[in-house]
Amino acid sequence: MKKAFLALLAALMAFAFVSCGGKEEAAEVAMVKEPVEFRLNNGAEPESLDPHLIQGVPEHRIYEALFEGLITYNPEDASPLPGVAESWEASNGGTTYTFKIREGLVWTDGVKIDANTVVDSWIRMLDPATGSNYAWFPNMFIKGAEAFNSGEAGADSVQIRALDDMTFQMDLLGPLPYVIGALAHYSFGIVPMHAIEKFGNDWTKPENFVGNGPYVLESWVPQDKITVVPNDKYWDAEAVKLDRVVYLPIEDQNTSHNMYLNGEIDWDTTAPQDQIEQIQFRDDYHATPQLGTYYYVFQNEKKPFDDPRVRKALSMGFNRKNLVEKITKAGQIPAYSMVPDMAGYPAISGNFEDFDEAKKLLAEAGYPGGEGFPAFEILYNTSEGHKKIAEYIQSEWKNNLGIDVSLLNQEWATYLSTRNMGDFQVARAGWIGDYQDPNTFLDMFITGTPMNGGKYSNPKYDELISKAATMPDGPERMSVLADAEKIFILEDMGVMPIYYYVTINMIDLNKWGGFNFNVLDTHPPKDIYLK
Amino acid sequence: MTKYIIKRFLGMIPTLLIITTVAFIIMRIAPGGPFDRERAIPEAVRENIEKRYNLDKSLPEQYLIYLGGIIRGDFGPSYKYRDQTVTDLIFNSLPHSLILGTLALLVATFFGVLAGIIAALNQNTWIDYTAMSIAVFGVSVPAFVIGPVLMLIFAMKLKILPTSGWITGPDGWVTVIMPLIALSMSYFASIARLSRSSVLEVVRSDYVRTAKAKGLSPTMIILKHVLKGAMLPVVSYLGIAYSGIITGSVVIEQIFRIPGLGRFFVQSSLNRDYTMIMGVIIVYSTIVILMNFLVDILYSFLDPRISYQ
């Protein structure tokens, strides 16, 4: 074993000194006539390029370049647009959808894309052997998907089918009206089964890569960069204006900011937290409301948090406006509901800051002036930002309510495990919506779901959420969801919303066009162009 | 001598096995797993993933499977970077860390020894004080401060260097300059102080006095007698320094975007990327053990008083 290591090390050393070329690339660029290269900070090295194995924002950005599902996002407002599907219609009371596949679609290697490609891809996604992290998402929509994914039934239980080469059909668990928007998600991605069968796990390597998006993978140097170039076989190839997109996995915010200032990158997807105060006045700084909520979870089963009066008092007992203006500073919006502002949804309001009312509620619950309130902890994952917020809330609760709370930070994976097991009293949490519908913020608090670490449970709430899932789209359904949220937040204060997230992007819009801001923070590179 | 070398060499195997076993156990005691995310996934989905990576088996079984893989030279799949194997990730990143670390150590040693000798030979003059002030600065200011300051000066203000990047990128070898300075600074400082004090000690020793008495020129005395004797503590430090420089480059790699192994050292543990943690630990331990081994061997060549039986 020892010798093998020595041999390996020796080989690595040798390799180190051989592999230091890298001038060819610069020469290649110089030969082409002023190619438009768009460089961005992608935040982290993608975990994978395989649409069925990914689960994060950096991966999503690359997915948008390399793949296209039945539906894509409209760059302006992240609403659904036809992609591989040219058109669709609902039947059976909104529980069956039939898609017409666009004619003449091919993969980058020329192989045809038809309705069977969609069926095979989705079956692969749900196959337990694929081990997809995001399988729960299609499971929420497709009839029979969960049974197959959990190994209880075969692939034929999944209610999707090709009616003919150009017609794809799926049956849903109910008339889930937000399904079309959800289909733009990468877990519904269409993948080249022929290439996957041929190359196995190596199919995403640049030499084997096959895709169907507006761009195709040119190079992938892990931890260094990913480059993509236009896919001339893409159905809308004419719309693609950039000659190359370079994704840099820059983890250090100061480095990426310096690179941005120096013109080494064109789009920075973040900004250094400690410099926000100065940076926010720049014209190329863009803070946009995002479909996401930062909140604290109460352990609803443990004393004293099993008393809604206590939960309400805590929620009313600190000033959110000061928090976002003096602590977080990036333009976050104070939150008094779980669901952020969303078109068509009647926002609920109430339980605002009110220190007197909070004291009254505490006294009613048996803790006048905070006396006798048991010692407890705020759990958060280790981060300077979360710490500052927790410290602020700690001092507010002390000053306004007379309650002592200590802080407990845990490293990310430990924190997640503690939170999911429900082994905490108050814990920090955040949720970014998966699609533009209130349901994505509400259905996780149904009794017994894995996300519900705070063990919130109210049969009336469960009933309303389940009821909404069977209703067709429209104001009535929205008002049922709003009723549910009223119970959840206004009556029960099941969790304590703190603020709605904003996303920060730095990009010079005088130079780059086709870059829009939307609540999903999605910016497809297909639409970006040099002005 | 040969017997000693072989014995020491074989002795590395149990050490490595113990490190591997302890690391495996500690890693699995830590709460949380590689597939935990803010969005808790349903049990059935989690089971699918765990089955795919043998995580559903008992711990001893997993340990044996892992050891079996290691013997065949297979470090297993990465749980985080799911398109790649740990062997791929290490093979692609370690060379960059080795280049940077080796260069940094060479630079630190060369300038450190030089500064140390000059300071010692000019003891208590302004040359000595200047050299030692720089050394104190180097020891006390950490790399994560030097790095951004260099970037601020050379990339942002003077604009003569790119902010970051690596030799594999379009900017080429100039990208090495800043990380090299930042990484080698504290080692340069330590080596300078070490060589200064050992030169001072050796200069006063009997055999140097004898050499002087024989009428040798000062240059010859320094090169032939002082240097060899004074290098002993430096050489023994180099072993530790090289392991430290390779494993400690994590911050520099992050600041200057170097695709090295350093960032995996911390990140893989935070991600609970079990196989990657093991891979990194095994590689790093091998480097540390190997360096200690080499230093021991080198010592016997440099110091005739040491003999191994």
Average pLDDT over chain A reads 91
Residues 6 or more apart whose CB falls under 8 angstroms from that of A140 comprise: A173, A176
Looking at residue A232, its pLDDT comes to 96
Q: Does the structure show a pLDDT above 80 at A305?
A: yes
User: Quick check: is B25 in a domain?
Assistant: no
User: Quick check: is B137 in a domain?
Assistant: yes
Pairing mode of beta strands A512-513, A529-530: antiparallel
| H-helix or E-strand spanning residue A31 | helix A24-31
**By the CB < 8 Å criterion, does B11 face chain A?**
no
State the pLDDT confidence band at A3, using cuts at 50, 70 and 90: very low
- The token pair that represents A330 in the structure block: 């990036």
Best of A224, A246, A411 to disrupt the B interface (most B CBs within 10 Å) is A224
Which residues does chain A have within 8 Å of residue B94's beta carbon, measured at their own beta carbons?
A: 12, 16
CA distances from B301 to B2, B57, B229 (A): 13, 51, 12
Query: How much is the average pLDDT of A469-491?
Result: 93
pLDDT in tens, chain B (309 residues): 788 888 888 888 999 999 999 999 999 988 888 888 777 777 788 888 888 888 889 999 999 999 999 889 899 999 889 888 999 999 999 999 999 999 999 999 999 999 999 999 898 999 999 999 999 998 899 888 999 999 999 999 999 999 988 887 777 888 999 999 999 999 999 999 999 999 999 888 888 888 888 888 888 888 888 888 888 888 888 888 988 888 778 889 999 999 999 888 888 888 899 999 999 999 999 988 988 888 888 877 777 676 655
Choose between B271 and A143: higher pLDDT.
Answer: A143
User: Quick check: is B193 in a domain?
Assistant: yes
User: Quick check: is B120 in a domain?
Assistant: yes
Which residues does chain B have within 8 Å of residue A12's beta carbon, measured at their own beta carbons?
A: 91, 94-95, 98
Give SS3 for A72. strand
Percentage of residues of chain A with pLDDT beyond 90: 77
Q: What pTM was computed for the model?
A: 0.88
How large is the ipTM? Answer: 0.88
Q: Please choose, from the candidates B263, B82, B5, B202, the residue with its C-alpha nearest in 3D space to the C-alpha of residue A204.
A: B82
Residues 6 or more apart whose CB falls under 8 angstroms from that of A66 comprise: A49, A209, A211, A213, A215, A216, A217, A228
Query: How much is the average pLDDT of A122-137?
Result: 91
If contacts are CB pairs under 8 Å, which of residues 214-233 in chain A contact chain B?
Answer: 221-225
Structural domain boundaries in chain A: 37-247+508-530, 288-504
- Put simply, the answer to whether A450 touches B52 (Cβ < 8 Å) is no
User: Quick check: is B29 in a domain?
Assistant: no
Q: Specify the CATH class of A37-247+508-530 in words.
A: alpha beta
Which residues does chain B have within 8 Å of residue A128's beta carbon, measured at their own beta carbons?
A: 47-48, 51
Domains identified in chain B, total number: 1
User: Quick check: is B52 in a domain?
Assistant: no
Nearest CA in chain A to B38: A416
Choose between A175 and B40: higher pLDDT.
Answer: A175
* Buried b or exposed e, range B64-86, using 16+ CB within 10 angstroms: eebeebbeeeebbbbbbbbbbbb
- Put simply, the answer to whether A133 touches B41 (Cβ < 8 Å) is yes
Burial class (CB in 10 A: 0-12, 13-18, 19+), A163: exposed
User: Quick check: is B99 in a domain?
Assistant: yes
**By the CB < 8 Å criterion, does B240 face chain A?**
no
State the pLDDT confidence band at A421, using cuts at 50, 70 and 90: confident
Looking at residue A20, its pLDDT comes to 40
If contacts are CB pairs under 8 Å, which of residues 59-78 in chain B contact chain A?
Answer: 70-71, 73, 77
CA distance A44 to A51: 17
Q: What is the pLDDT of residues A179-190, one digit of tens each?
A: 999 999 999 999
The number of C-beta contacts closer than 8 angstroms across A and B is 192
**Three-point CA angle A421, A187, A163, nearest 5°:** 135
If contacts are CB pairs under 8 Å, which of residues 401-460 in chain A contact chain B?
Answer: 411-418, 420, 429-431, 450-451, 453
If contacts are CB pairs under 8 Å, which of residues 82-141 in chain A contact chain B?
Answer: 128-133, 135-136, 139
Q: Does the structure show a pLDDT above 50 at A57?
A: yes
Q: Does the structure show a pLDDT above 60 at A9?
A: no
State the pLDDT confidence band at A289, using cuts at 50, 70 and 90: very high
Structural domain boundaries, residue B208? 90-260
- Put simply, the answer to whether A8 touches B159 (Cβ < 8 Å) is no
Q: Does the structure show a pLDDT above 50 at A19?
A: no
* Cβ contact B97:B260 at 8 Å: yes
Q: Does the structure show a pLDDT above 60 at A346?
A: yes
State the pLDDT confidence band at A1, using cuts at 50, 70 and 90: very low
**By the CB < 8 Å criterion, does B289 face chain A?**
no
What one-letter code names the amino acid at B248? G
CA distances from A454 to A302, A439, A495 (A): 9, 18, 8
Nearest CA in chain A to B13: A2
**By the CB < 8 Å criterion, does B96 face chain A?**
yes
Q: Does the structure show a pLDDT above 80 at A135?
A: yes
Looking at residue A131, its pLDDT comes to 86
Q: Indicate the fold that domain A288-504 takes in CATH.
A: Dipeptide-binding Protein; domain 3 (3.10.105)
Of A16, A23, A45, the CB nearest to B95: A16
**By the CB < 8 Å criterion, does B32 face chain A?**
yes
CA distance B252 to B256: 6
**By the CB < 8 Å criterion, does B169 face chain A?**
yes
Q: Examine domains A37-247+508-530 and A288-504 and report if their fold is the same.
A: no
Looking at residue B146, its pLDDT comes to 93
| H-helix or E-strand spanning residue A529 | strand A529-530
In this structure, what CATH number is given to the domain that contains residue B128?
1.10.3720.10
Which residues does chain A have within 8 Å of residue B254's beta carbon, measured at their own beta carbons?
A: 251-252, 255
Of A1, A418, A430, the CB nearest to B13: A1
Q: At what angle do helices B143-150 and B177-203 cross, to 10 degrees?
A: 130
Nearest CA in chain A to B85: A201
Of B37, B169, B263, the CB nearest to A22: B169
Looking at residue A139, its pLDDT comes to 92
Looking at residue A205, its pLDDT comes to 94
CA distance A404 to A396: 10
Nearest CA in chain B to A10: B95
Query: How much is the average pLDDT of A50-60?
Result: 92
Looking at residue B306, its pLDDT comes to 67
Which residues does chain B have within 8 Å of residue A224's beta carbon, measured at their own beta carbons?
A: 166, 168-169, 257, 259
CA distance B294 to B290: 6
Looking at residue B307, its pLDDT comes to 63
> How far is B308 from chain A, CA to nearest CA, in Å?
23
Whole-angstrom Cα Rg for chain B: 24
> How far is A40 from chain B, CA to nearest CA, in Å?
14
